[in-house]
Structures are given as structure tokens and as C-alpha cells.
Structure 1
């Protein structure tokens, strides 16, 4: 059949919303996955963006699904379209529009929802509008119906919480409770690399490689591959990682470069420096460090920028006071600041916090600094936008707005945003949460930061290989129906260029908009550290693996959230978890089902029943 040129506009709109859905996937789901590593300070925000981009695209392009279910997880029977390619195109376009709109709104308001559940709900709503409620698979349907999908909404976070708690309690018993935890952390690290390597390999086998078909290999083959990979990672860590960390944290060799691990066992005989044994040799993994205030103040005051509009001494844009974790008196200055903040509204305090970051960014060199200064120095004038003076100003502002949109996320201060704002209810709440979490030595946490980066990169690879089908599946249906003029069958071929385009959009979403989710995840739920973070990520990965064995779809983001709560409870107090934030997350998850479904159904119903004229 010829191409459906009369549906060019449907194809164009469907493509637009497929790109938007992939963008939201990166800004929401992928950002949530990396929030744990960033919150733990195992990796910097910019490094997370780089690693996330690389491994998401590698997973999607190299081993991503080459075919996609045309009817998302068997929700709508394929025969319901009766071979009408136009209706099929319209159905999935409406589903993508509803899901992407809802997820975008939630991301903008820092409410984390699952893009998978949003699309599934939208498809169900579209199915009701298209073929009626009786045709929609509401039951189990072999693990592919709505009953099976939404069963994971309650089970997955709970199971993930248990796994995360078990792994962290193992770390506590083996390392944290010892008299000399630093030595225990160093010498037992190959075991935890073995655990992480095995789980990561299983993630790729069962969740991240549908194109390679590894999960269909004999059990003995899978066991050999997973154990061999895990054992290999453990062996490499024993040969290179243990000597390197031993020299770093036990000998306190601050002169050892990052590439010193290549010397392997020879590092055991390397003499430790004696000039300055008190020099810091590992990062400070505290959620917020007190000394950041003085460092930031000096860096701001030391700036030689001559912009008269950057009044860094004004109360509204002075550097942020970091969230203190000490129990002692914070001094007269802190008392005055707190009293001043108590006289201001919540919106005023949050506006000041945002302005402090903006003022800092305006002092930077490069494109973002130029763009921030341009917007600051060229506000819109009085009158309507079509006034000649405002048109001239707008000509300057548009390039700056585009630049800020692309680069602002890379420079956002995630840690400051996660710590809570002084003088607000949230600040008081986070003070209680952090006070109930025991802080472990930085040298111990440093050991687990490497394990956490390994698990995070693997999770991104598996996500890119598997979850890209959420966006590319409906798009592949739309493209197949439009290009062939025939309704797509039970499976639609996915061209590799579609995988490349959508994986690129996922990366763009992560880099430019992911900070909206990252700033409320992690330390907004409970206190994070590398040993806690790697437990959360391995617990979430185990849960996804178990669900995949029973062909039950599950949201990776929901699993990592559940594991975060489980590890937080290991502090021994329910006050170590911010239950208000957890409640808001649960509310967002639950509301996704009716809202996305209603949006999809209403949109589809309006288009199907709109007046039309035949030529």
C-alpha cells in the first residue's frame, strides 16, 4: 500500500511527542537513577551527565531492541484497529501526547513519576476511547496486562527496600561496626566488587540486551558468564584497586596520582610521604560541608568581574549559608540570619536562594556566564512586547535564553538544593532527618564510591538498552503505519536511526532538565553516602532482575526510590526518612494512572468524534 500522505501531520505530531517523551524519560527516570550517585558525592554532577549520556546511548544503539510491541505490553488487542493504519497512528500519537505532557508537567514541578507508567496509562485511556473498555486487557494477561503492570506499583518499591536494607546491613556488619573500619573496607572491597559485578552482569543479561538474546541461553552459560564476570571484576580489584586504596587511605599517600592504580601490587612497597600526614587524601562525603560558606564567599569576593549590576554584597544574592550538621552553636551571625529569614515568606526565601545561584553563575566565564549577564542586564521594558524598545531587547535575550536552557542544568548546585533551606519547614525537617543518620569516616565511604559508579553506569546501560522501547515503540508503530499505509502488526521493526535519535533526546533531557528531579531525590528523602548509595542501587537492580524473570514490567525509578527508603530505615529510626517527600512521591505515582489515562482517552475521543468532511 502507498504511504499515507494524508496523515503527514499525524506523523509529524507523533514524532514531536515521541521526541518529547524521550526527553522526559531522560529528565525524569534517568535523572532519578543518577541522583543517588550525585547525592552520595561518589561522582560530580557533571561527571554523572557525561557517564549517563555515554552509557545510555551505548546501551540503546548497540544492544537496544530492534523490534517493539505495537500494542504496549498487550494492553490493546491488535485486531481492534481492524487494519486501519490511520486510527492506529492517531491512537499512539494521542498516547504519546498525553504521557509526555503529564511527565513534563511533573518534571517542571520536581514531582518524580514513571514515564513507563505514564505511557501505559495513556495507552489504556486511548484503548477505551478507541475500542471500548471491554477490549482493554485489564487483567493479568500473561504478565502483560494492566493488572500485572500496576501490581508492580506496590510490590517493587517494597521488595527493593528489603534488598537495599539487606545489602547495607551486610556492609555495616562487615565494615562499619568494626574497631578499624578503614582497613576492613579496603581488604573486603573485592568481595563487594564481586557482588556488584555479578548483579551488573545479570542486569545486562536479563534487562539490557533483548537484541542479543542472552537471556535465552542455557542456564549453565548464564551462570558461567555472570560468575566469570563478577570473579574477573573481583580479581582486578584485588590486583589494582586494593593496593591503590591502601596507599591512599591507609598510608595517606596524597602524592599518588589518580592513574597510580596501574602499578598494582608494587604500591604496597611504595613509601608513604612524611612531610604532611594531615593533608586531606579523600573527598569529604558529608551532605553539606560547613567550610563551603567561607570558600564560596572568598571565591565570590575574589572575582574581578567589573559588572556594576553584580552587587554580590546585597542581602538578596550573597552566597548561600550551607546546611550545618553540627550540634553546637552556629554563632551570632547564624542567629541573626535565622531571625531575618523567619520574617520572610517561603517564596521570598526560595527566590533568594535561586538568585544566589544566578549571581554566582553571572560571574563565570564562557557562554553561560555571558547568557546570564545578558538576561540580567537586559530586562524587558515597560509596555507590550511589540514596542520597538522591547523588540530590540528581545533580540538580545532570545540567544541568551536558548543558551541558558542548554547549559543551566550542568551548573545547577544539586547539593545546595538538596540540603533544605534555612528558615523554612523543609529546612527544619531535613535537620531532623540528617541528625538521625550516623556519619561514617570519609576513608571508608571513599572505598564504596567506586562500586557505586560501577553500578550506576551499568544501570544506565541497561536502561538505555531496554527502556528506550517506551518511546521508540509507539514511534515505530506510527512510522511503520505511515510509511507502508498498512496497520503495523504485533511487532514493528525499529530502524537504528530511531534508536540513535531518541537516545540522543534522552541524553539532552538528562543534561538540560534532569536537575529538577535530582534536586528533590536523594538527600531530600534520607541521608546519602557512598556505602548507602551502592546498597540502594544494587537493591534496585536485584528487584528489577527478579521481576524480569516473571515477565513483570517494573519501573527502575520506583525501585531505586524504595531502596532509598529501605536503606534510610537502617539508621534505626523512622525519623531518618523524610516521610512527607515519600508521601508526595506515592501520590504522584498513583495520580499518574487516572490523569495520563484520562488525557489520552479524552484526546483520542475528541479526534475520533470531531466533525470531518470528505473530499
Structure 2
């Protein structure tokens, strides 16, 4: 119990600090490092499994897991790039590809559920053969693909092909009835049909044009500034003493005249005033979700480098075709989140489940059942962490790593989810953080060239992965050693 508690404390402290610094480190590896430190402090280094089935697997995961996720994501994006985005009519090709991708994503999610979740919760599922598994997976995948054909395709066709600016999200429920709507009236309101997913991101041609314009306008600007300075000097020298006296008297009057503002008239309310307390509580409660992550990503730092030049190396595809993948990206984000809960959260609540089992039964087993309330507790803590502190990781894993768009994000998340699903099936404690980083780099490489990736940020992320095990191990080992050797009642010094 003490060892697992020390592992939880060390991993929690390290993850909190790493998140504050924007380091996307692994929760799984933080827990593993904490357990290693406890083992070394309690029984020595010989008690730790340093082989392939133990710590060596973590070291290998730094290269293998991001590489696998990057390959899956790169293959998906290459298929999307050449079969949809580079076609003469990319919107039509995107509409055709939507049912296939919907079926693929929901099929993978169903595969994870029936393999991992339902099989452990239901005795009936454990007796299934290959035929039952294949039937359920393909049945749900085909059903979801048909639902996208019935409801989503008419909505997108009306919005993107016919430019129906009057549509709202709830019109998707009308399905085929949308095709019977009348002609689209002129858009007199100026309302945008879809957002520009490349807003604020320039192409290489635009950057080159801006650079040439700057070079041409610099001499004229310098000349105009020098003329303005000369005119200002002439105007100042032509001011008469009388006018300067008037100016000085006016300045004296201005400086001696008291100025009353509304803030002076209305003193600030004390902190314990109910409206002030309510405003402070709202600001603290909603701070994590009100941060503009996109604006944060544009801020320059030592890790960002020249973001404009990096983003300019990526190709800008048809904006309407990109919009079709925004719906798929929501689905793949949910799938990746589900896979994250099935793998990382299970590893994070493992020590807590061990503590509860020892306390509840008074015995130690190699395997212990995990109560449902512990899983709910871990899921709730995950949501709270995302709500309050998640923006620190979002801004570094977004456009600061490479240019993102719906089609790219869809492939990144689906490639990462496929890798996590495979690892969950094989009972391998992989990191979803490493999967999504590898998938992002993989898509970035096939999206542009080597310089379309922010390698400074990649190095920063890898540095966080490398120091995770030593730091969490040192913290948990020190805690364990101090507590084990602390003076206690009834024992001699």
C-alpha cells in the first residue's frame, strides 16, 4: 500500500509540473517510473525487471510506438491526399469517402469495445467465436456508414455544393428531405457558410510576395520618415516664445487640476462581497476552457521558431473538402479518447486499485479486480484535468508542431487510435501521448517536407519522455526511503 501510494504521489507531482510546462509526457510511464523507484528503495535494483518484459519495453516504446502510429497516420493521409484532396473535384470525392471512413472508424471502436470492454464485463461475450466478433464489428460499421449516407451526405451536399447558407446543425436530422428544399436565396446577410480552416496561415507564394513588397517599400518609408522628422524640427523651431509660455502655463494648469474618475468615486468592493466572490469563482472555474488555444499557438517562443515559414511549406487544400472531414474528426477524436481511457487511465488507476484491494481483503495477489467506482473516479479526474489544465498541452501539440486542418487531424487521431487499440488488445502499456505525437509527425512529413515539422518541439517532447522515468523514480524512491526509515513509536534509534 505504501509503495503504490508513493508511486501515485510522485507521478501526480511530475505530471502536474510537466503539464504546466507544456510537456506532453506519458501518464503510463510516469506510473511505471514511480513503481520502479519504490522497488529500488524497498528491495534494491535486483528486484526490478529490467528485461524486455519490464523496463526495457518502455525504452523501446520511445521509438517503436511513435513510429507505428506515424506509419498508420501517414498511410491514411496519403490515401486521403491522392484520392480526395488532389482530385479535380475534391468536394465530390470527399462526399464519396465519408461513408467508408465512418464505417472504418466505428468498426475500430466496436472492435475495441467487444475485445476489451464487453469481454471483461459479460460472460456471454467471452463465449463468442470469430464469427460473432466479425458479425458485430462489420454490422455496426455498415450500419453507421448507412446512417452517414442517409443523414450527413444530404446535409453536406446542400451546404457545400448548393451553398445553402440558411442551414443549421439541427437540419441534419431531416436527412433526405433536405434535397427537396427549394432554391437557395441570395446570401444578403453576409453570413459565412463555412469557416476558413487556413485563416492566418500563409502559403509560400504569399510569404515570398510579402518579402519582396517589404524590400521595395523600405527606401520610400525611410525617406518619408526623414522628411517628417525635418518638418517636425522646422515646426518646433518656428514656435514663438509667447506660444511656448502659453503652452507651459497650460501644462501647469493641466498638472495641477485634479482628475476625478469613476474608479475614484466608486471604491473597489472587498473580496468577500458576494458579487466579487461569484466573479472570481467563475473566472477560476472557466479559465481552462476560455483560453484561446489557437491564439496561444501563434505566440512566439524559443520552441516555436518561424511558424509562418513552417506552415507555408504545407499545401493548402480545398476549404470545402476540408470541412467534410470536420465531422469525421469529431468521431475520431471520440475514438481516440475512448482508446485513451481503455489504456492510459487503466494504468493510472492501477496503483489505486491495488491499494484498495490490499486494504479491503488484507491479502496481496498478482492480479486484483478493479471496482467500477475507481474507474469512474479516474474518468472524472481525467475530465477535470482536461477542463482546468488541458490547454497547456493543446497549444504545443497543435499548430506549433505542424500545420493542422480537419483532414490532417482526422488522419492523426485515427492513426493514433489504431495503434492504441492494437496495444490494448495485446495488453501492452503504451502511451497515447507518444502515439499522437508520432501520428502528427508522420502526417506532417507526407504533408510537406522535413522542414514542415517543428523539430525543436519534437526534441522538447522527447526530452520530457526521457526524464520521466528517472524523475518519478527518484521522487517515489525518496518518499519510500524516508517513510521506511523514519523514527516510529516503540522502536529504538
TM more than 0.5? yes
Q: In structure 1, what is the equivalent of residue 113 of structure 2?
A: 204
Is residue 2:102 matched to residue 1:159?
A: no
Q: In structure 2, what is the equivalent of residue 118 of structure 1?
A: 30
Quote the Cα distance in structure 1 between the aligned partners of 2:49 and 2:120.
Answer: 27
Q: Are 1:156 and 1:559, in contact at CA under 8 Å, matched by a contact in 2?
A: yes
Is residue 2:355 matched to residue 1:478?
A: yes
Q: In structure 2, what is the equivalent of residue 98 of structure 1?
A: 10
Secondary structure at 1:254 match in 2: coil
Structure 2 residue runs of 5 or longer lacking an equivalent are: 219-262
Q: In structure 2, what is the equivalent of residue 313 of structure 1?
A: none
Q: In structure 2, what is the equivalent of residue 251 of structure 1?
A: 162
Distance 1:434 1:378, change over 3 A: farther
Deviation at 1:241? 1.2
Quote the Cα distance in structure 2 between the aligned partners of 1:208 and 1:564.
Answer: 28
Quote the Cα distance in structure 1 between the aligned partners of 2:289 and 2:327.
Answer: 22
Is residue 2:98 matched to residue 1:189?
A: yes
Deviation at 1:560? 0.8
Aligned with 2:375 (options 499, 504, 507) = 499
Deviation at 1:574? 0.6
Q: In structure 1, what is the equivalent of residue 293 of structure 2?
A: 414
Is residue 2:419 matched to residue 1:508?
A: no
Q: Give the aligned length.
A: 436
Is residue 2:193 matched to residue 1:281?
A: yes
Secondary structure at 1:255 match in 2: coil
Structure 1 residue runs of 5 or longer lacking an equivalent are: 1-88, 291-323, 337-372, 380-391
Quote the Cα distance in structure 1 between the aligned partners of 2:386 and 2:420.
Answer: 22
Q: Are 1:195 and 1:230, in contact at CA under 8 Å, matched by a contact in 2?
A: yes
Secondary structure at 2:112 match in 1: helix
Distance 1:267 1:199, change over 3 A: same
Is residue 2:444 matched to residue 1:568?
A: yes
Secondary structure at 1:211 match in 2: helix
CA deviations over 1:270-292 (Å, ceiling 9, x no partner): 333131398531122125379xx
Q: In structure 2, what is the equivalent of residue 242 of structure 1?
A: 153
Quote the Cα distance in structure 2 between the aligned partners of 1:407 and 1:589.
Answer: 30
Quote the Cα distance in structure 2 between the aligned partners of 1:400 and 1:493.
Answer: 44
When the two chains are superposed, the root-mean-square deviation of aligned CA atoms in Å is 3.1
- Report matched runs for 1:117-516 at 5 Å: 117-141=29-53, 145-207=54-116, 209=118, 211-212=120-121, 217-276=128-187, 280-286=192-198, 288=200, 328-329=209-210, 402-421=281-300, 428-484=305-361, 486-516=362-392
Secondary structure at 2:489 match in 1: coil
Q: In structure 2, what is the equivalent of residue 356 of structure 1?
A: none
Quote the Cα distance in structure 2 between the aligned partners of 1:129 and 1:169.
Answer: 49
Quote the Cα distance in structure 1 between the aligned partners of 2:291 and 2:179.
Answer: 40
Quote the Cα distance in structure 2 between the aligned partners of 1:425 and 1:482.
Answer: 48
CA deviations over 1:223-244 (Å, ceiling 9, x no partner): 2222111111111111111111
Quote the Cα distance in structure 2 between the aligned partners of 1:593 and 1:492.
Answer: 25
Aligned with 2:424 (options 529, 548, 554) = 548
TM-score, normalised relative to structure 1: 0.65
Deviation at 1:426? 5.5
CA deviations over 1:343-400 (Å, ceiling 9, x no partner): xxxxxxxxxxxxxxxxxxxxxxxxxxxxxx9xxx979xxxxxxxxxxxx768998876
Quote the Cα distance in structure 2 between the aligned partners of 1:258 and 1:215.
Answer: 40
CA deviations over 1:142-196 (Å, ceiling 9, x no partner): xxx2233443222010111111000000001111111111111112221222222
- Report matched runs for 1:522-561 at 5 Å: 522-561=398-437
Secondary structure at 2:286 match in 1: helix
Quote the Cα distance in structure 2 between the aligned partners of 1:284 and 1:326.
Answer: 18
Deviation at 1:412? 0.2
Q: Are 1:287 and 1:528, in contact at CA under 8 Å, matched by a contact in 2?
A: no
Quote the Cα distance in structure 2 between the aligned partners of 1:603 and 1:452.
Answer: 43
Distance 1:413 1:327, change over 3 A: farther
Deviation at 1:329? 4.0
Q: In structure 1, what is the equivalent of residue 229 of structure 2?
A: none
Distance 1:105 1:428, change over 3 A: closer
Deviation at 1:543? 1.4
CA deviations over 1:61-108 (Å, ceiling 9, x no partner): xxxxxxxxxxxxxxxxxxxxxxxxxxxx11111111111111111011
Distance 1:443 1:154, change over 3 A: same
TM-score, normalised relative to structure 2: 0.81
Deviation at 1:591? 0.8
Secondary structure at 2:368 match in 1: strand
Quote the Cα distance in structure 1 between the aligned partners of 2:162 and 2:463.
Answer: 50
Secondary structure at 2:120 match in 1: coil
